[in-house]
Amino acid sequence: MSEVIQYNPATGDVLGTVPEASPDQIRAAMTRARAAFPIWRATPLPERLAFLRKLRLLLVEQAHGIAEEIAAATGKIRGEALSAEVLVVADAIHYYERHAETFLARQRVATPILFFGNRSYIQYQPLGVVGVISPWNFPFQLAMIPVISALIAGNAVLLKPSEVTPFVGTLMERLFKESGFPEGVVQVLHGGRDVGAGLTAARPDKIFFTGSVATGKKIIAAAAEHLIPVDLELGGKDPMIVLADADLDRAVNGALWGAFTNAGQVCMSVERVYVERPIYDEFVRRVTAGARSLRLGEDVGSMTFPPQLALVEEHLRDAVEKGARIECGGTAAKAGTLYFHPTVLTGVDHSMKIMRDETFGPVLPILPFDTVEEAVALANDSEFGLNASVWTSDLAKAERIAAQLVSGNVCINEVISTVANPHLPFGGVKQSGIGSYHGPGGLHTFSHRTSVMLNKGKKKREVNWFPYTAEQERAFHTIIRLLFGTSRRATLADIRNLIGQVLGKDSKDSRPAGQAGPNGKEHTS
């Protein structure tokens, strides 16, 4: 049996192994999930939420230990594991505990006058079995939130956590078990790309994937063979626009945290900064000094995945060869670990990989601009569109700029934060993904919408049914003119009278089919 190895990236130590799921085990897990789904679906929503409340309370009780486990598996700072993983997940659960019944409730909508007397509504139904494939950079948050959203909506879930951080997968497995979720409702499948492919081949009713663009394309191509719907939360190359009137201290601190938190391994990391020329030199000076002051192992954790460290080094080589200057950092540290010194780059342009491709590491390239129009054009000159930020004391100007940015999320005098607000939908545009979650849509994306039109069934026929008559045609013409023409003076009584004229004196005509109507023609139901 194959095994997945868990390393501690900050020390290089092997922490242990986890058995990889075999093809037979994947199929068996799908069988269990299919059997569990009808029972879980029939469980009233308040009871489903009670399981989530137990999970939330477990997170609170075990927060320190959970953060320790996440930090050991990823190399991140324990405080970051608490704030960006445990706290965000607990907040998301609490948010849905309060709002899920409203979000999933039957939604009444209007009915056109042609169908007067009918009622129309939308109801939300679970999809079935949802496959969640999650990444290694935030292996707890980016797995748990889609999983809990799918569960609340009434689905069974198969979770494949990243093979880079398998111990976070076993941690989640344990938490769901301790929370008492019924057998088969949520299962964890450990392993690499073969397990992900096996999960897709098992034909879940939806796939939710967070990860790289390249892998996302492979998943959606495989899912398309069976018309499996897919949500993709992919990469970013997030721009930060700093205007001359910005609070410089706040903007510098925002850039440092936005670029170097989680060692820059955030899909919403600040990966390119555009600074208005009058403050460019001072901004670079302060950011460089701030980056030099950050402490490895205390402020900035290690990177998590060795190939990602190699990619960072490749991007830096390409930039330097094309004329960029390293102001600080630029080298790995602590041999045998994945620590990398926070790095600031100047002299960059859009011909460089560092300004076009996702770097996903502790690197901050900075470029000056002269006009707002130039800054917006540079920010939008990217295949990605996940997040952006605008920094200025003129909030009206900031909102005008934000409206011009092609991005799923925009922060003003803030950075990254939209992903941690459960009220806001989160998702990207362009190569940054398809679909969104969080907010009401975080439950709706794991539901199918059923449109229902209800008629009391007391009339023998409707005004638009057979037989077609000249009187009916004249009535439709009158209705169109009265409702949508320049006069638009129709009242509800007018429309009812017209319908009554077409159906007969009583619009609730109850004569049986085959009986002659008032015009001498056979009446049909």
- b/e map 324-352, b = 16+ CB within 10 Å: bebbbbbebeeeebbbbbbbbbbbbeeeb
C-beta contacts of 393-402 below 8 A and 24+ residues apart? 393/245, 393/246, 393/247, 394/243, 394/245, 397/243, 397/372, 401/241, 401/372, 401/375, 401/376
| Residues marked as catalytic | 233
445: number of Cβ within 10 Å: 24
3-state secondary structure 29-91: HHHHHHHHHHHHHHCCHHHHHHHHHHHHHHHHHCHHHHHHHHHHHHCCCHHHHHHHHHHHHHH
Question: Tokens 């600031």 belong to which residue?
Answer: 344
8 A C-beta contact, residue 51 and residue 157: no
Identify the residue whose tokens are 């398809």.
Answer: 434
Handedness of CA 305, 310, 313, 315 (dihedral sign): negative
Phi, psi of 104 (to 5 degrees): -100, 0
Q: HSE-up of 76 (CA within 13 Å, CB side)?
A: 31
Task: Enter the DSSP assignment of 437.
Answer: B
| 3-state SS track over 147-196 | HHHHHHCCCEEEEECCCCCHHHHHHHHHHHHHCCCCCCCEEECCCCHHHH
Residue type, 399: E
Angle in degrees, CA 141, 242, 342, rounded to 5: 55
Closest CA to 6 of 305, 303, 220: 305
Residue of 289, 445, 305 whose CA lies nearest to 364: 289
Residues whose CB is less than 8 angstroms from the CB of residue 61 and which lie 6 or more positions away in sequence, other chains included: none
Helix axis angle, 193-201 relative to 23-42, nearest 10°? Answer: 50
C-beta separation of 384 from 237 below 8 A? yes
Query: Among residues 294, 308, 284, 406, which one has the least CA distance to residue 341?
Result: 294
**How far apart, in whole angstroms, are the C-alpha atoms of residue 140 and residue 495?**
58
CA 261 to chain centre: 20
Residue 253: both structure tokens together: 């601190």
- The CA distance from 376 to 59, in Å, is 41
Whether the Cβ atoms of residue 177 and residue 202 lie closer than 8 Å to each other: no
ω into residue 112 within 30 of 0, thus cis?
no
